[in-house]
Structures are given as structure tokens and as C-alpha cells.
């Protein structure tokens, strides 16, 4: 009896083995999904790609767009780039930084701009750096201008008995304070800054679109145009949609057949990062209203 007991094989654990098998299968399945989801960004089909970079919403941070322009500019398998712009504009600095990076990418390969529903102010500024600009007939574009908005709540705070006090190092250090009226000297100084940036905008449009500077000045008063109107003024090259721009980009990139379209994967952020970003944006919008902007909505 004892010998029989000692010679018996050890008991197996089929439940644990089954669980392990299921985990391995699921792990392999999810790994395969990750690989497939990133296939568009792997250089497997060299010489057959057109990259599409989306520029949407308020232009406040140039880094994501510049990062993509550099990435696709260095990728030999990407033969052309299309900027898809759906933006009312935004900050002067970020718009100019993207404009300059588009010019650098254009020196390496064709870069086209496709306007969606709205591509105005800073959005149009960026488009001017492209080799060819596409717009729908009803696209809202133009708004070639610069704005520096201020708010004056002096009368309101006086009614409720609040007084503001400022200690400053120079006479112009608190320009644009909402607690007092702007002086003539301050207005003149700020107008000079706005006019200078406006001329930079005009020069960028004239250079990018190969237009006479005086002709651009005549329409650079902040007015908006439809895509059809912009085409007649030389601000747009082709009336067409995103698919037209991608097709032509493939031809300019000497791609035979239908080009493969690739985009950068969306950056994954945590809930806390999203909350922090939204809070920072809200604070910037509320407290930094006196920043120079190329922004259709602000007008």
C-alpha cells in the first residue's frame, strides 16, 4: 500500500495550466494588434508614402507639428508631405516657427497645404510656406492681420470699492493693465509692435505666394475670404479637398500608383496630464489676453 502510494505520479494542476495558456494567447494577440496598429509608421513600403500632418484648433504650441515635420522630412520612404489645416490661427511665435520648419521640409521634398473648413490668420500663415495650397470653395481663410486685445475694468472695480496698486521698474512695465486707462504713449508703442508683426505677416505671404507686397497690403486688413475668393486673389492655388492634395503630392513625389497615406500616432496622455494641460490652457486664455495673436476668433 505504501509502495503504491510513493510510486504514484505527482498531481497535475490543469486549471493553472489553462489560465497560463489563455494569458499567453491573449498576450500574443494584443502584441499582434500593437504591431498592426503601427504598421503605417514603419518604413516597409519605401517610396510609396505621403505623410499627412494635422494642424487643428488654436495654434499655441509649435512643438508637435515641428516634431512631425522633422520626422517625415528625414524619412526616405516618405516622398511628400501634406499639411491638413483646420485652424482659426493663434500665437505669432508658434505660427512663425511652424512656417519656418515647413520651408525647411519643403527644401527636402514636396510639401502641400490642404485647408479644411477654416484656415485663417496663423493657419493661413503656415499654409503660405507650402509649395501648393488647396482649399474648398467654401473654406474660410485670409484674415491677414494681428491683434493684441486688452480689457479695462477700472470703472467696475471703482464701483465696488476696489483699488489696484502697482510697483514697477519702468514707465511701460504695466502696459495694458486692466486697472487703468492706457496712456497715448503706451498706445503708440503697442501699435508700433502690432504694425511691425503685421508687416512680417505680409512679407511672409508675399514671399510664400510669390505676390507683390503692395498687392498683399491692400487685402491684409483682417478681412476673411472664401476659398473661391482666395483663389482669385492668388492666396490659394487649387480648389480641391484633402484627397486631391494627397493625390497631387504623390505625383510630385514621383510615386507610381495610389500613394500610401501615413500619419503620426496620437500621443497617449494620462488623465492627470490632460487635466494639467486643460488647466494651463484655461489660465493662459484668461490671464494672457494681451499676447500678440494671429487669431480669427479674437477679431
Q: How far is CA 75 from the centre of its chain?
A: 20
DSSP state of 59: B
**How far apart are the C-alpha atoms of 248 and 145, rounded to whole Å?**
30
pLDDT tens readout for residues 22-32: 677 777 766 66
Residue 13 falls in the annotated catalytic set = no
DSSP state of 168: -
Residue 121 falls in the annotated catalytic set = yes
Instruction: Provide the 3-class DSSP secondary structure of residue 280.
Output: helix
Partners of 83 in the beta sheet? Answer: 53, 113
**How far apart are the C-alpha atoms of 94 and 31, rounded to whole Å?**
37
Q: Name the active-site residue from 60, 121, 143, 177.
A: 121
Angle at 116 between CA 112 and CA 121, to 5 degrees: 80
Q: Name the active-site residue from 13, 173, 251, 254.
A: 173
Among 142-146, 208-212, 240-244, 260-264, the least confident range: 260-264
pLDDT tens readout for residues 47-96: 489 999 999 999 999 999 999 999 999 999 999 999 999 999 999 999 99
Mean pLDDT of 31-44: 53
At the topology level, CATH places domain 44-295 in 2-enoyl-CoA Hydratase; Chain A, domain 1 (3.90.226)
Domain boundaries in the chain?
44-295
Amino acid at each position: 500500500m505504501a509502495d503504491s502510494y510513493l510510486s504514484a505520479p505527482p498531481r497535475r494542476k490543469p486549471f493553472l495550466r489553462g489560465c497560463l495558456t489563455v494569458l499567453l494567447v491573449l498576450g500574443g494577440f494584443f502584441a499582434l494588434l500593437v504591431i498592426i496598429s503601427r504598421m503605417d509608421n514603419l518604413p516597409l513600403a519605401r517610396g510609396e508614402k505621403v505623410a499627412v500632418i494635422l494642424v487643428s484648433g488654436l495654434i499655441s504650441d509649435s512643438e508637435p507639428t515641428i516634431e512631425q515635420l522633422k520626422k517625415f522630412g528625414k524619412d526616405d520612404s516618405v516622398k511628400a508631405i501634406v499639411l491638413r489645416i483646420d485652424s482659426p490661427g493663434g500665437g505669432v511665435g508658434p505660427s512663425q516657427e511652424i512656417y519656418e520648419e515647413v520651408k525647411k521640409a519643403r527644401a527636402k521634398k514636396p510639401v502641400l497645404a490642404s485647408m479644411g473648413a477654416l484656415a485663417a490668420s496663423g493657419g493661413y500663415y503656415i499654409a503660405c510656406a507650402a509649395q501648393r495650397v488647396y482649399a474648398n470653395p467654401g473654406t474660410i481663410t485670409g484674415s491677414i492681420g494681428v491683434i493684441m486685445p486688452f480689457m479695462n475694468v477700472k470703472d467696475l472695480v471703482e464701483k465696488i470699492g476696489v483699488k489696484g496698486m502697482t510697483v514697477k521698474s519702468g514707465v511701460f512695465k504695466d502696459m495694458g493693465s486692466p486697472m487703468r486707462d492706457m496712456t497715448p504713449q503706451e498706445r503708440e508703442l503697442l501699435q508700433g509692435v502690432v504694425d511691425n508683426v503685421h508687416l512680417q505677416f505680409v512679407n511672409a505671404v508675399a514671399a510664400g505666394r510669390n505676390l507683390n507686397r503692395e498687392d498683399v497690403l491692400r487685402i491684409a486688413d483682417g478681412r476673411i475670404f472664401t476659398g473661391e475668393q482666395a483663389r482669385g486673389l492668388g492666396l490659394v492655388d487649387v480648389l480641391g479637398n484633402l484627397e486631391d492634395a494627397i493625390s497631387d503630392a504623390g505625383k510630385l513625389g514621383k510615386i507610381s500608383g495610389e500613394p500610401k497615406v501615413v500619419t503620426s500616432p496620437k500621443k497617449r496622455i494620462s488623465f492627470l496630464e490632460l487635466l494639467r494641460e486643460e488647466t494651463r490652457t484655461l489660465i493662459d486664455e484668461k490671464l494672457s489676453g494681451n499676447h500678440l495673436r494671429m487669431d480669427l476668433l479674437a477679431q
